[in-house]
């Protein structure tokens, strides 16, 4: 049995995850519940976790996962569009999939928010291949994987990022952006014609695109030869 404040907080977190793909911050929770301090939010979060409604994931910001919902809460789906390279891809479709929630008293169905992203073709995890910009199909992605911003997906071809856990045939989820920090795995457009998936390093006015496979050499380019088109935020693998 949840208190009103616990139920209100769980509903607020659920709605924000559906809308944004990420849970709200503690400051946003405090404001939404009209509490004077974040310590009250910590107590509510702890109570929800102890009752098995949420799970906190270690070493990640805003890492709150909804495990189950009480019968009093009705799942609501929020629709939001996805735009890639300024073009309108096929309409983004949102799905609600059911799965049983683990519970010692027996399983009950809850809803998991999913978003369909456009798959823009294949990306080389090896020697760069010709840049891809055509939508080939769509793929359903868990809403928790998608944060703010525009996203798209690419099929991986090659094994140069295998030691980063990216295999040939995987589908990578990319947040569209034109900047990157050292160590980010990015989609890089080289010379305006070839695209590749590599780890990004800046060395003065030189850009290093590093493979995660000793069989491939690091490639160096002038900074004006490389354009970042997005950063890796997720991966989907089919067995």
Same domain for 98 and 31, yes or no, is: no
Active site residues: 160, 198
Q: Where are the alpha helices (DSSP H) in 4-109?
A: 4-20, 26-32, 38-50
Q: Is 14 a residue whose pLDDT tops 80? A: yes
The CATH number of the domain holding residue 218 is: 2.10.109.10
Q: Is 187 a residue whose pLDDT tops 90? A: yes
DSSP-assigned letters across all residues of 113-174: EEEEEEEEEEEESSS-EE---S--EEEEEEGGG--SS-EEEEEEESSTTGGGT--TT-EEEE
- Would 87 be classed as within a structural domain? no
d(CA 196, CA 209): 9
- Would 183 be classed as within a structural domain? yes
Average pLDDT estimate for 118-131: 73
pLDDT in tens, 15-31: 887 776 677 888 888 98
- Would 72 be classed as within a structural domain? no
d(CA 123, CA 188): 10
Q: Which of 25, 47, 66 is the last residue of a domain?
A: 66
Same domain for 211 and 98, yes or no, is: yes
Backbone angles phi, psi at 197, to 5 degrees: -105, 115
Report pLDDT for 224: 94
Count of other CB atoms within 10 angstroms of residue 110: 20
DSSP-assigned letters across all residues of 38-50: HHHHHHHHHHHHH
Same domain for 31 and 106, yes or no, is: no
- Would 206 be classed as within a structural domain? yes
pLDDT in tens, 195-206: 899 999 998 899
Same domain for 135 and 217, yes or no, is: yes
Same domain for 59 and 138, yes or no, is: no
Q: Is 98 a residue whose pLDDT tops 50? A: no
Q: Is 235 a residue whose pLDDT tops 80? A: yes
CA distances from 28 to 25, 66, 227 (A): 5, 17, 35
Contact criterion met (CB below 8 Å) for 123 and 197: yes
- Would 77 be classed as within a structural domain? no
Task: Answer positive or negative: Cα dihedral of 183, 184, 187, 188.
Answer: negative
Average pLDDT estimate for 32-44: 87
Same domain for 42 and 102, yes or no, is: no
Most confident among 4-8, 45-49, 127-131, 217-221 (mean pLDDT)? 217-221
Domain range enclosing 103: 94-236
Average pLDDT estimate for 65-92: 50
Same domain for 51 and 135, yes or no, is: no
Average pLDDT estimate for 204-229: 94
Report pLDDT for 132: 66
22 three-class SS: coil
């Amino acid at each position: 049995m949840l208190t009103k404040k616990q139920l209100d907080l769980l509903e607020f977190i659920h709605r924000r995850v559906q809308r944004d793909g990420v849970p709200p911050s503690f400051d946003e929770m405090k404001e939404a519940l009209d509490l004077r301090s974040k310590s009250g939010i910590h107590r509510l979060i702890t109570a929800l976790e102890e009752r098995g409604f949420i799970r906190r994931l270690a070493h990640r910001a805003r890492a709150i996962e909804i495990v189950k919902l009480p019968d009093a809460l009705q799942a609501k789906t929020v629709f939001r569009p996805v735009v890639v390279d300024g073009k309108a891809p096929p309409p983004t479709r949102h799905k609600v999939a059911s799965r049983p929630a683990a519970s010692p008293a027996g399983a009950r169905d809850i809803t998991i928010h999913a978003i369909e992203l456009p798959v823009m073709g294949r990306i080389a995890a090896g020697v760069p291949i010709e840049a891809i910009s055509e939508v080939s199909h769509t793929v359903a992605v868990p809403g928790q994987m998608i944060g703010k911003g525009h996203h798209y997906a690419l099929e991986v071809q090659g094994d140069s990022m295998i030691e980063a856990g990216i295999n040939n045939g995987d589908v990578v989820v990319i947040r569209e952006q034109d900047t990157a920090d050292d160590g980010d795995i990015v989609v890089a457009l080289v010379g305006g014609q070839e695209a590749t998936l590599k780890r990004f390093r800046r060395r003065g006015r030189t850009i290093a695109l590093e493979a995660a496979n000793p069989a491939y050499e690091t490639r160096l380019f002038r900074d004006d030869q490389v354009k970042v088109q997005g950063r890796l935020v997720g991966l989907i693998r089919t067995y």
